[in-house]
Every structure is written in structure tokens, then in C-alpha cells.
Structure 1
Amino acid sequence: MNATAGSSGSNTLSDGQKLPPGVVLDKDGKPCRTCTSAASWRAMLKQASSSGGIAAGAAAATSTTSIPPPPPPTQTDCPPDVEELGRSTWTFLHTLTATYPTTASTEKQTQMRSFLGLFSNLYPCWACAEDFRNWMADPSGKNEPRLSSRAEFGQWMCEAHNAVNRKLGKKEFDCRFWEERWRTGWKDGRCD
């Protein structure tokens, strides 16, 4: 569920100041912390402190009058960046597919379709949510959720994740192994 400024909007502030790559602006024109990786956020803050140009936008984005120092890379009590949010979300979604019924009732399919619709509208990174909605709404219908069974839903979720991986230039996962990765554990016993 990740997106970058280049795919969802401008990477400049309303005053024309150029932002570092990966900084996503929110709908209000300010940098979106939830949609931006921690590395890009730190680059923006560093650029702002060295040039003084982006300081106003960065300060508004952080809701302070001064730019705080970037957190140490190992700090875990800060708001999630887009990468941490994405990893956590994919863990949740794949685990959801792993616990989905082997054969889903019509009611369960309706509930899941409703969940996916709500999820794609309420996801905290608006750019990511928009990308997911657009992917599911592909005019060919090939990305419509397949919900009749755990196997079908798991395959669909893996394909959705790989679509994001391709967009971000990340390695794709071999969907033949989604169930071992997310439900049963690897056959070599490393999860036992």
C-alpha cells in the first residue's frame, strides 16, 4: 500500500519549493507523514534546515514552530511512516486471507467485499488507498476481489501485493507459496 509523490501528485509545495523524492503531499498541500517514508521525511527536514526554504511547509506538517531533529532509526514510538504502515497492513491483510473460510458463504463474501471497499476508502495513506481502489476497479475486471474460497482470496491478495511491489520496484513474491508464508508455515520447519 505504498505510493510516491510522482504517482499521486506534485512534489512541490504551494510556494514552489521542491521536495525530496518520496515526499507525498496531503490533500491540503502539506507533506503527508503517513504517506511518506521516514527516510524521505528526514531528507525533507534536513533540506528545510539547511536551506530554510521548505521550513514553513515542514513546520506546518509537523505542527510545530521549529523543525524537530529526525528520530534515531531504531526509535519505535513515533508515528509510522508509509513503509512501516505498509508492512503492518500487508501482514494484517495476508493473515486475514489465511484465516478466511476454506469455502466462503455468500454472507462472508459480502462482508469481505464490504471490508475491502471500506478499507480502500479509510486507509491512512490517502495516495496508497487511491492506488488500491484504482487497482481493484481495473476496467477489465481482472482485479476484482475473488472471495469464494481461502485459496482464491489468498491468490488475489498476493497478486494485489505484487502489483504494489512492481510499482515500487520491489521483488515480487511467488504466489504459489502464499499459504506457506501466511498460514501453514514453511515446509522446511523454520516456523515450528
Structure 2
Amino acid sequence: MLKVAVLISGAGSNLRAFLETVSESTFPARVVAVGADRDADGLSHATHFEVPTFSVPFRDFASRDEWGAALAAQLRTYAPDLIVLSGLMRLLPQAVVDEFAPRIVNTHPAYLPEFPGAHGVRDALAAGAVETGASVIQVDGGVDSGPILAQERVPVEPGDTEPTLHARIKPVERRLLSDVVRRIATGDLILT
């Protein structure tokens, strides 16, 4: 059984969907912990599913590297086989990436390498794109620059706003994440 730790920053709607999938008896992974870089509302989803939670507030540390060291220490206590970034709105320090790579994956609401960064949906609309998408990538030291593990196109419809487009991207993002984690757990996808 693949042990997964999930890191979030906000409301955790993708986390909730992932926890629902993982709770199915046939799913070959389980979430061993959910952590956040702040007091995130999404931690309540983990509590609902009786998954341990932790918070390592970024504001409590003098530097990004100190925060990363504390985050890595928390992650080590759960010994995850895989770390999923699901709405974590902060870049992991290089030392954290180096310690846990290649076992870190991230979801992104765009068809990478198009529209990387924190505002992928907004950027797609601003660029006048006729389609965007969702991606699951392996985390490296850059901004949404790691190897692509899965992705799918999502059309931009006339009159779309950031909320309406994001609402159509989220189900695709959730399905891709569950599929990637399942493939990792069964050995169909090897992270290198």
C-alpha cells in the first residue's frame, strides 16, 4: 500500500476529492498525513477522514530554508512513499525537493508548459487561449517545470471567467491525480 502525504494551502477541494477516492477499498494507496503551510481550512477534510494533520506556518520562520527544514522534519515522521502538492501555493525549498525527489508530484490547472505559476487559469484567459487544461507533474527545482506525468486539454468557452473555467478544470485535475497515484502504487508508473 502506497503511503501518501498531501500538502495544501487553502480550502482543499482537490484534497477532499482525493481523500474520497483513496477511501475506496480497492484504491492501492492511503493518505498518512495532510500538512499545510498556514492555518488552512482544508485540514478539516483530513480530520473528517481521520487522517493526521500538521501545520508548518511559513510566517513562523525567518527564512524559506528554515521553513523547509521544519516541513521536511514533519514529513519524515510519516515516512511517505509519495508527497502530493494539492493546492500548496508555495515553492518547496531546494533542500526539500532534493530529499524527497523523485517522489513529489504536483497538480496544476493548465496544460504545461503553457501558463506555469500561481495564476494558470487567469493567465490562460488573459492570453485569449481557446483551450487550456490540467497537468500532473513531478516536482523539480523550478516553477511547474518538472516532467509531465499526465495532462488533458480543457476548452475555454466563450464568456468564461476565472471561476467558471477553473470549475471545469478541477474535475479533470482530480481525475488525473488519482490516476497518477494509482499508477505509481501499482508500479505502472515509475518515478525516476
Question: TM-score when scaled to structure 1?
Answer: 0.28
Larger Rg: 1
Larger strand proportion of the pair = 2
Question: TM-score when scaled to structure 2?
Answer: 0.28
Larger helix proportion of the pair = 1
